[in-house]
Amino acid sequence: MKFAVVVFPGSNCDHDAQYAAQHVLGQQAEYIWHKDTSLEGADVVILPGGFAHGDYLRTGAIARFSPIMAEVQKFADAGGPVLGICNGFQVLLEAGMLPGAMLRNRSVKFQCEHVLVKVEQTDTPFTTACRSGQVLRIPIAHGEGNYYAEPEVVARLEKNRQVVFRYTNAEGMPTDESNPNGSVANIAGLCNEQRNVVGLMPHPERACEMALGSADGLVLFESAVRSVVNGVGGHFSRTVAAR
């Protein structure tokens, strides 16, 4: 199967996502330039971390206008699995493919460190291989990861079980101390209503080998493989229909 890693000017975790998919997981992973207009038959699309277009405006605000984004939208509409990591998550928010927005971290500083996140939903293409409630140790590296949405939007996200990842302590409790950036309801990642588009601030691609301090992130990539093998559109549209 084939991963597509979209490269925006200023993406800087594109190599890392490609490496995790191809060299750690042994799958095919191709770069797709943001000016391209085809995903070239990819089974999974990753929007990687970085500083697309320098992020001098709001993070992700310009990247959403890249030609490839129309294809990503179409791919997602057809039920294809899309993962936005960090800056990629921010792009998904700006593109309206996921609800909410990012504020600066409450520390008002860039923060790079390992954090703990709990997997709350296992019926997305990036969490099927997880145990529900599993706590992963994955790094964050961002200055604007303080997720915000209106209270009614957060309520809807909770009701629809769209909060996929939450910052918690080792026991899986979403305490204030375990919230690294001030995100509302400790939200670290979420999915769309169709559950095939997932965005998260932590970097699973940086936690795929024990040599780097943690291999907890690999399960997201393994989930993607498992989902595709089980049939992408079919499996997830059935999930949606069943609800």
Tell me the two tokens of residue 170: 């080792």
54, 23, 164, 82 alpha-carbon torsion, rounded to 10°: 60
Site string for other proteins, 45-74 (x = CB under 8 A): ----xxx-xxxx------------------
By CB under 8 A, the residues from 206 to 225 that bind other proteins are 206, 208-209, 211-213
Helix axes 232-242, 218-229, angle to 10 degrees: 90
Q: Which of 4, 5, 6, 13 binds other proteins (CB under 8 A)?
A: 13
What is the distance in angstroms between the CA of the first residue and the CA of the last residue of the chain? 28
Rule CB under 8 A: choose which of 26, 41, 96, 109 binds other proteins: 109
226 is a site residue for other proteins (CB under 8 A): no
Closest by CA position to 203, among listed 2, 11, 4 = 11
Secondary structure in 3-state letters for 116-185: EEEECCCCCCCCCCCCCCCEEEEEEEECCCEEECCHHHHHHHHHCCCEEEEECCCCCCCCCCCCCCCCHH
Q: Which sign does the torsion angle of CA 179, 209, 41, 129 carry?
A: negative
User: Of residues 22, 73, 111, 194, which one binds other proteins by CB under 8 A?
Assistant: 111
Q: Is 86 a catalytic residue?
A: yes
203 catalytic? Reply is yes
Q: Is 34 a catalytic residue?
A: no
Q: Residues 79, 43: contact at Cβ < 8 Å? A: no
| Binding segment (CB under 8 A) for other proteins, from list 91-99, 108-116, 154-162, 218-226 | 108-116
Catalytic residue from among 86, 130, 191, 208? 86
Interface with other proteins, residue 113, by CB under 8 A: yes
Residues in contact with other proteins, counted by CB under 8 A, come to a total of: 34
- Which of 203, 208, 222, 235 is catalytic? The answer is 203
Lay out the site mask for other proteins across 170-209 (x = CB under 8 A, - = otherwise): ---------------------------------x-xx-xx
Stretch that binds other proteins, among 91-99, 107-115, 124-132, 162-170 (CB under 8 A): 107-115
As given in the structure block, the two tokens for residue 217 are 């992130």
- Name residue 199's beta-bridge partners: 84, 190
Q: Which residues are catalytic?
A: 86, 203, 205
Which parts of this chain interact with other proteins (CB under 8 A)? 9-10, 12-13, 15-16, 19-20, 23, 33, 35, 49-51, 53-56, 109-113, 139, 141, 143, 203, 205-206, 208-209, 211-213
